[in-house]
Amino acid sequence: MGIEEKLPAGILLTSVEMLSNWARKSSFWGATFGLACCAIEMMAAGGPHYDLGRWGMEVFRASPRQADLMIVAGRVSQKMAPVVRQIYDQMPEPRSVISMGVCASSGGMFNNYAIVQGVDHIVPVDIYLPGCPPRPEMLIDAILKMREKVMATPLGPNGRKMLEARKAAGKMPIVAPGAMPSSYRVDKTRRAEWTQAVKEGREEQLRIENWMKLQPHLREK
């Protein structure tokens, strides 16, 4: 696509960037890499109850050449590792990877010679999704965070220059795209709370405090 090189940095590029990113996020085509038990939860997420078709993802093409999101669902054995890499290499840019489940993220419960301790030893991962297996709602949450990240991607070399300029000028958003927990994202006040906490560097503390408020034996009398 030559258009991204030709557009000068500025308002035109920003609009095209937004349009292009919106188009990409609205029709994510997943390449399933359903390896083990997490694949069942991925299938459940694609089924009618936890419908991935709400976000245009009900179709998972088996061919990586037509996919832009690879969900590595399940444990990757030493023998399967070169295959994962080959499928990733066959995906055209722009591509992203969600490592679904603890086995793909870090080896999970299988801390031994046969399982690769985290698929990030093989491919670069954008979103790590813990769980054994993660519920379909958790997978949907990960996909939504991935969409947020995609919306913030720069388009072409000029787009990257604009991003650098924004970084240098300190105009980056306080919370990185895809980094806000969904339980805080849904509510305006909680969103503001989280953003404030990130500014001060105490978001984990805020989480713990809010959790303590819900525990009957920890509430301050």
Partner 1 sequence: MSIESTGGVPVNAEPVGADIDAPAQVPPNPQKGMFGITGTGDVSGFGGLVRRTPDVVGTPKPYGGYFDEVTDALEEAYPLFADAIEKVVVDRDELTLHVKPERIAEVAQIMRDDESLRFELCSSVSGVDYLNSDARRLHVTYHLTSMTYRRRVRLEVAVPVDGAVPSVTSVYPTADWQERETYDMFGVIFTGHPNLTRILMPDDWEGHPQRKDYPLGGVPVEYKGAEIPPPDQRRVYQ
Q: Return residues touching partner 1 (CB under 8 A).
A: 78-79, 82, 106-107, 111-114, 117
- In the complex, what is the shortest distance from the CB of residue 112 to partner 1, in angstroms, rounded to a whole number? 5
Question: Which residue's CB is nearer to partner 1, number 103 or number 140?
Answer: 103
User: Cα separation of 116 and 122, whole Å?
Assistant: 9
Nearer to partner 1, 85 or 191 (CB): 85
Closer residue to partner 1, CB minimum distance, 113 or 170? 113
Query: Closest separation between CB of residue 117 and partner 1, Å?
Result: 5
- Report the alpha-carbon distance of residue 162 to residue 178 in Å, rounded: 20
**Cis bond upstream, residue 8 (ω within 30):** no
DSSP string, 70-103: EEEES--BTTTHHHHHHHHHHSPSS-EEEEEHHH
Nearest approach in angstroms of CB 81 to partner 1 is: 8
- Calpha distance 88→86 (Å, rounded): 5
CB of 208 to partner 1, least distance (A): 12
Instruction: Classify the phi-psi angles of 107: left when phi > 0, otherwise alpha if psi is within -120 to 50, otherwise beta.
Output: left
* Closer residue to partner 1 (CB): 1 or 114: 114
